[in-house]
Amino acid sequence: MSAPTRVRQRADGATLVCAYLLALLVIPARLVLSFVPMTLPPALVVALLLGVLSLSAHMVDSLGMGKGRNALRTAVLIYLAMHLATYAVATRRWLPTDELTVADSSMVRIVATISVAIFACDAIRTRERLDKVLKLILVCSAMIAFVGLVQFGAGVDLASYVSLPGLRVQENAYSAMESRSIFRRPTGTTNHPIEYGLVCAMAVPLGVHYVFRSRDEGTPQVRWWLCLALVGLGGLTALSRTAILGMTVSVVVLVLTLPRRRRMTVAVLGVVFFLGASLTVPGLFGTIRGMFANIEDDPSVKARTADYEAAADQIDLNPLLGRGFGTFLPTKYTILDNQFLLTLIENGYLGLFALIGMFLAACYATVRTRLVSGDEALKGLASCLLAAVLVGGIASATFDLLSFGVATGMVFTMVGLSGAALRIALAERRGGARDPGQGEGGQGEGAKPLSPSV
């Protein structure tokens, strides 16, 4: 009896999103293109390409892009419109050369990253392809965690040995060998320990999900346990309040959304893992406890709150649309470790409402996915996406999220995947999962059957 023929999957929208994620997570963030004057990482080049492909694919009905209404895509486009309005107002008046230069490059970065969210929302059309993308995110996050753990334990920065043709090293003010208490603070392939910890925290619910999935399906569990252990330990060793809060939120979301018989398993697993890590790394528990127990006396916390009065003065100058995205230079003014506050200064109240609205729309998309879907696997993925979006929202209140390329790319990818999950759930409920022409609100725009290539 001959073996079954394996059908090779052609490249599609999910493939291109995976290409972006590989460029974002695997290539060290400090490597940028050497032949362009602005700071341009390879991931942003791929993101810009996705934006062009998304715009082009929406002009035809034969490439399988999602058409019709989608709450997430609407919220993201409103956020993009606010950025364009802010840029128009800011560049209409006089800006110092240094601020204008950064405003131009910042617009390129945010438009490229928003393009990823829109492309992911419209181009990933089945649960299987969404599953592939999220598995890649988990594996790549585990790789980042491994690099960070080597930095933490051995003081060896594996990322510094990576060199690729056409890329140069961008000098980073933060060193992977700096420390908190008695421990080194790792960065993995990112540019900062907080960013590193955020990436690990967003991957923790994915690790839990795939451990349970593999057990249900009878497939090997070891690789998913390994990934979960790496990202969990990576989040702890980042020695970041953002990462600790993020992992806590992830566990809470899983406990609230998982079947009742698994809630206690997740809670116990979280406690056992934390205690095990504390015993394995002497002094880790005390350092983490001190980060929260003495928070009112922590110099970093005091520095974050000391600039609020000066920030209020800046907000009053341009309250509606802000002074311009990227123009509040930390080297010229001050560092604000709060993206919501920084958005209020640079994009005004309209920009802040658009940013919060985008996070809320992503949460709505994941919750509605769970309500309308009859596929337990898709419901589980929606829970993971909800946890990741909430972690990104919390991170926006604890550090300047949009100033870090890897963290921004991860958050916007998760936001886009939330919209994709809702499209898939609604299509499956209508019994037309293979019909790319239907949007959230019913019949779409007469699209042809889904093409595997985008």
* pLDDT at residue 302 in the model: 60
Q: Is residue 74 part of a domain?
A: yes
What's phi and psi for 438, nearest 5 deg? -105, 130
Q: What is the pLDDT of residues 310-342, one digit of tens each?
A: 777 778 888 888 888 888 887 777 777 889 999
Structure tokens at 66: 């999602």
pLDDT < 70: residue spans in the chain: 1-9, 172-182, 280-309, 432-454
Would you say residue 3 lies in a domain? Answer: no
CA–CA gap between residue 371 and residue 252 (Å, rounded): 19
The total number of structural domains that make up the chain: 1
DSSP H or E run through 179 = strand 179-180
Q: What is the pLDDT of residue 1?
A: 44
Q: Is residue 4 part of a domain?
A: no
For the chain, the distance separating the N- and C-terminal CA atoms, rounded to the nearest angstrom, is: 37
Position 110 scores a pLDDT of: 94
Residue 180: its pLDDT value, please?
A: 65
Residue 437 lies in a domain: no
Sign of CA dihedral 314, 315, 316, 321: positive
- In a domain? residue 355: yes
Q: How many CB atoms lie within 10 A of CB 232?
A: 26
| Sole residue written with tokens 């100058």 | 317
What residue numbers bound the domain in which 290 lies? 13-56+68-429
State the pLDDT at residue 290.
Answer: 64
Backbone angles phi, psi at 191, to 5 degrees: -105, -5
> Taking the model in full, what pTM does it have?
0.87
Residue 334 in any domain: the answer is yes
Task: Determine, yes or no, domain membership for 448.
Answer: no
Q: Would residue 436 count as lying in a domain?
A: no
